[in-house]
Structure 1
């Protein structure tokens, strides 16, 4: 605030200070007011002269902390300082220096103002007593004699960095925008600013920031990559493809953008015709990608390696078709790229001989040896392992350890945590001389796909953490389930199919807490019939949207609770409109970040509606643990038959439909007939032991291990 008289500073509240100063460069000093007045005046004169002499003084606000002195006395001292500077330096600080007094700052107030402080000028005598020193230390500190050389861009950048690291997204955005205003620009600013917008779910600002950054820095792959991936994730597929084509032009030698240019498919589809269109586009794109993959030079090899290390073809499998041919083409491409980069790790390995009393060494390698749906079941395989005949090695290549990670470590004879280091993980597996290496999933994590494209053990298997054939020539067996696979299942796999007993995995029974919340806590009515729809949006295909509307037409009290499905809103609106209903009367979209709330929703719901073609896995098992009746209709492939297999093993098959019409009938009957619904739930409760912690599948798995080892 500029003063028009000698000095007219006022002590302002924290909130007022922030309101007035948010756009300025705020520098704080913490004088020791108890020192001799002569020394105090000299220090204040030095600071104010330094600020006035700064090349960007017109943008700087000097905040003077007045802890330890009254407002009147502080103003009196500053009046003396102002008069001295006017007489000796001809500085009129009423015009040339913007000053605010901040008095009696306690720790809470100091924390509030920290996000707006760009720096502190160090005084010889400071009053830090009563203030949290750890908080003060977060503020960049500058000596008086060096401050005038600090560019304001550096001051703002340092504050941006601090706010970004602390996750203070709104405050960081304000400072990043300040940087752009003062023409301090580099690619990191656009990356970080976009990241802040994304965390606040401000998608338009997020995408605009990335696009602005790309215009200025067309060679910056990070900006292109984030833009493409998140446009697709948010259902903006045409923009994503155009952005991928633009990235491929800007960075023609970056294999990442070749993959994205040719193989990008939607995460969700607007209609069934789109599925066919994008499948044909993928088929042609894969051919083009293969033809344009060059692996002669080291640069080409490394670029291709980096590309497949950032991406998988995850979304292809959600088109509900037999992917074996496309997966084999892609798997062969991955293998060739890996062989070009690591020729020493693609040669066949001899099976290590078993000496008397020696155990078979089984390795499990995954990015997800933590609490994750695709690997949680693996704890059962390890927990019930026959320790007399098998030695367990685990390789955790991710880096989100939690209590489940500790379980994996406890159940292993040897546990290696090698995060984000492909070569080191591969070298360790080779050194351990395994008999069999198992990947619990292949297809969700790019580094796992790279490892699986090598030959790191004599025999290599994949399990159904991601229930789709890998197409990799280096994976020998697919460990599946006798209850999930149709008769012609081998036609869906490039690997030799192994049908393990029951559901193939030993899933630990989840802990289910008592009901401690009510429907009203989630904005749901007590008289509604709640159908839980908890799958990821890409599992919902458009040809089945009519089912929700048909259930609602027959059951006006129906409420469909989607936990991750806001992208489906336009499609559902069309489906309900087609039968004369308003989707907003029936569809509820909730965000449930906490596990406790997720389980509460299961416990408070009436019916679980499974998805067609790709059914629930972990979600269905947890719903069963909550005794929530499940409506399912088995699909053509194993990935669409999980829930059916769980219910068969549970011995509660009344709610398994054979077609869409029967699915609707069962769902409506469960909604209308509370007694039947209760009877289903009771039978589920009584039969939990049939499903959870199954040991028969472990015995079948280990019999397979022994058999294949003896054959080799």
Structure 2
């Protein structure tokens, strides 16, 4: 009777959150009845709640040893095992709880949460649906269902689940926060802002919502407001490493308004790194969540700053021992872009096509949520393919399980998961490709694969990695732009020359705006056609406004010169290129995929070849196909070439013949396996 009374009192303390009193009570029970399974189990739960998971595992395990038929024991054991990183054992524990009690709602829900972390989102959806069948009015379970649908890339269904949760429980802050995340996945960034703000109103100490609000504001180019959101997150949780890292990235404006703001960005980022360095704890755990992606768009040497960033976020780990192998090397390719995407079209598809399977066991880990027929092709043409959205820890576990000799990242810097994985040492040899054309800055990446046609003579100093210059552009291109549909643009006035400015707005550096006004003044009747982006449309609007101001300041009528086309499908974009006369490449950050489309449509390119890989992409492509006339080396030459070609374009027949020659030359960019064969040799040599 005494033990029972003590247990009842301890449970009452436990239910009201008085963990210290509850622990004392459970221990008092065990002092009287050492084998009391309820006291053992609940003392284990208290240990788990306090973060003492090893002790919790022992206590709950002892309870199960005495009575293994209680579903709650196995459910809580699963919670502990999950915290200890023993996910397979945790899944087994949840399944045992369900076998013992098929209507155990929380076991179904916990199983669903763990399965989605492991990338088994479809099975997780079935588990959460079973939980909701048992408890259909549980708003929290609808949030969980939304999370799983979000992981499956089913944004519309996820949004419906979150809205159902809000309908059931309007004050559930997590539902509003996660609704914002689902809207972000659908690229409705502005619509996400009120969701995060509502979550914060409901739960003023909601650190996650402040971080997500900051991320959305940063994506909208509102760096000052983003910084304020991150700072508030840090007021609430000073050790929040991802907020500190994100705050540092607000020093890099996505669309600087003036040449001075653009030129000052590297200095501002260097100061932000100084601040990070004073409190580096936890940054490696936050690696990938905020990356200095936009720093690459400033046309100066930022190698030292990227290396400092790399040192702050990289996880210090020893190089894994190389296993003695008599057969094929295990090559792992990790990318979020195994789908119709520029990284796939240019950097990855040709590699998978030409890899020598007698030399390599090839695995592809697709870390992105989006899939299409290209994903299916990749899965069918490698030895091992793993897809499905997972967290970083789950992907790391998959990599460790595969035991690669070599990891190749086609790009580093564009995706949070690959950015986090690349900052860790998970194979003896780790390499990056030029999908993001700048050094990773990471001490964990050994090789950087580029192309002879893309790099200048002093390029080695721009990389932390060992630069490997592969033949030509360093890639084997298998992708050909599909046919075109006639562009439904306005009728062209007589003698008007159309210049295509069809790259992402972030590539246009304010310092280069004056080049366009000079070209306009020298070219006579002409139009500059910009294509608005599908996402970050605000950036396109800012670019148009900025250029209109520059043209007006130069005494040129913006309405006459600045023209805007909406975002369009690939086939319609090809028709747009057909309707243009001259393609003007961005001097600060050159294009490759768009330039490839242009030459395939026979559209002549004027490019200003700079010092860095990211300023030499179109020039490298033109060198590769032997069409050098569009490559210039100074701003004055860039303007002169554009003006000269505008005059030539008015000779319709002659310009048409020039376009035919360029279109024929474009075929020389296609399908050469030599760069991939040399890449294989470099990997084998590096693997020893």
Q: TM-score, normalised by structure 2?
A: 0.70
Distance 1:425 1:569, change over 3 A: same
Residue pairs, 1:196-235, within 5 angstroms: 207=193, 210-211=196-197, 213-235=199-221
Question: Could you give the per-residue CA deviations for residues 518-538 of structure 1, whole angstroms, max 9, x where no partner exists?
Answer: 333xx4646543322222221
Say if 2:501 and 2:528, in contact at 8 Å, map to a contact too.
Answer: no
Say if 1:228 and 1:244, in contact at 8 Å, map to a contact too.
Answer: yes
* 1:506 and 2:476 are equivalent in the alignment: yes
Say if 1:478 and 1:496, in contact at 8 Å, map to a contact too.
Answer: yes
Say if 2:581 and 2:604, in contact at 8 Å, map to a contact too.
Answer: yes
Distance 1:202 1:700, change over 3 A: closer
* 1:428 and 2:389 are equivalent in the alignment: no
* 1:642 and 2:613 are equivalent in the alignment: no
Deviation at 1:381, TM superposition (A): 1.5
RMSD: 3.7
Deviation at 1:396, TM superposition (A): 1.3
Distance 1:584 1:248, change over 3 A: farther
Q: What's the counterpart of residue 621 of structure 1?
A: 596
* 1:385 and 2:372 are equivalent in the alignment: no
Deviation at 1:325, TM superposition (A): 1.4
Tell me the distance in 2 between the aligned counterparts of 1:649 and 1:202.
39
Tell me the distance in 1 between the aligned counterparts of 2:368 and 2:481.
25
Q: What's the counterpart of residue 570 of structure 1?
A: 545
Distance 1:390 1:542, change over 3 A: same
Question: Could you give the per-residue CA deviations for residues 229-285 of structure 1, whole angstroms, max 9, x where no partner exists?
Answer: 333333322222233323322332322211122331210111121124332221121
Tell me the distance in 1 between the aligned counterparts of 2:396 and 2:191.
41
Which piece of structure 1 moves more, 562-571 or 376-385?
A: 562-571
Say if 1:308 and 1:334, in contact at 8 Å, map to a contact too.
Answer: yes
Say if 1:482 and 1:501, in contact at 8 Å, map to a contact too.
Answer: yes
* 1:364 and 2:342 are equivalent in the alignment: no
Deviation at 1:563, TM superposition (A): 2.7
Deviation at 1:208, TM superposition (A): 5.4
Question: Could you give the per-residue CA deviations for residues 338-393 of structure 1, whole angstroms, max 9, x where no partner exists?
Answer: 34xxxxxx2222333342xx223322111211111123221112212223333322
Q: Secondary structure at the match of 1:519?
A: coil
Instruction: Report how many residues are paired.
Output: 537
Say if 2:453 and 2:471, in contact at 8 Å, map to a contact too.
Answer: yes
* 1:286 and 2:276 are equivalent in the alignment: no
Q: What's the counterpart of residue 112 of structure 1?
A: none
Q: What's the counterpart of residue 297 of structure 2?
A: 318
Say if 2:499 and 2:581, in contact at 8 Å, map to a contact too.
Answer: yes
Distance 1:367 1:552, change over 3 A: same
Q: Give the counterpart of 1:271 among 250, 253, 258.
A: 258
* 1:698 and 2:676 are equivalent in the alignment: yes
Q: Give the counterpart of 1:495 among 465, 475, 484.
A: 465
Tell me the distance in 2 between the aligned counterparts of 1:414 and 1:200.
30
Q: Secondary structure at the match of 2:544?
A: helix
Tell me the distance in 2 between the aligned counterparts of 1:687 and 1:200.
39
Q: Secondary structure at the match of 1:316?
A: helix
* 1:545 and 2:513 are equivalent in the alignment: yes
Q: TM-score, normalised by structure 1?
A: 0.68
Tell me the distance in 2 between the aligned counterparts of 1:706 and 1:207.
49
Deviation at 1:510, TM superposition (A): 1.2
Tell me the distance in 2 between the aligned counterparts of 1:269 and 1:203.
20
Distance 1:219 1:375, change over 3 A: farther
Deviation at 1:623, TM superposition (A): 1.6
Q: What's the counterpart of residue 323 of structure 2?
A: 352
Q: Secondary structure at the match of 2:435?
A: coil
Tell me the distance in 2 between the aligned counterparts of 1:197 and 1:526.
42
Q: What's the counterpart of residue 420 of structure 2?
A: 450
Distance 1:394 1:246, change over 3 A: same
Residue pairs, 1:336-347, within 5 angstroms: 338-339=315-316, 346-347=317-318
* 1:686 and 2:664 are equivalent in the alignment: yes
Unpaired runs of 5+ residues, structure 2, are 1-136, 534-539
Tell me the distance in 2 between the aligned counterparts of 1:593 and 1:488.
39
Higher helix residue share: 2
Question: Could you give the per-residue CA deviations for residues 635-692 of structure 1, whole angstroms, max 9, x where no partner exists?
Answer: 1101110100100111111111121222122222323322453233222222233211
Q: What's the counterpart of residue 39 of structure 1?
A: none
Tell me the distance in 2 between the aligned counterparts of 1:586 and 1:250.
50
Work out which of the two has the higher radius of gyration on C-alpha atoms and give 1 or 2.
Answer: 1
Tell me the distance in 2 between the aligned counterparts of 1:320 and 1:482.
20
Q: What's the counterpart of residue 241 of structure 2?
A: 255
Residue pairs, 1:47-86, within 5 angstroms: none
Tell me the distance in 2 between the aligned counterparts of 1:196 and 1:367.
18
Deviation at 1:291, TM superposition (A): 1.6
Question: Could you give the per-residue CA deviations for residues 561-595 of structure 1, whole angstroms, max 9, x where no partner exists?
Answer: 23322221231122101211232332233332533
Say if 2:155 and 2:186, in contact at 8 Å, map to a contact too.
Answer: no
Deviation at 1:466, TM superposition (A): 0.8
Tell me the distance in 1 between the aligned counterparts of 2:322 and 2:213.
46
Q: Secondary structure at the match of 1:437?
A: strand
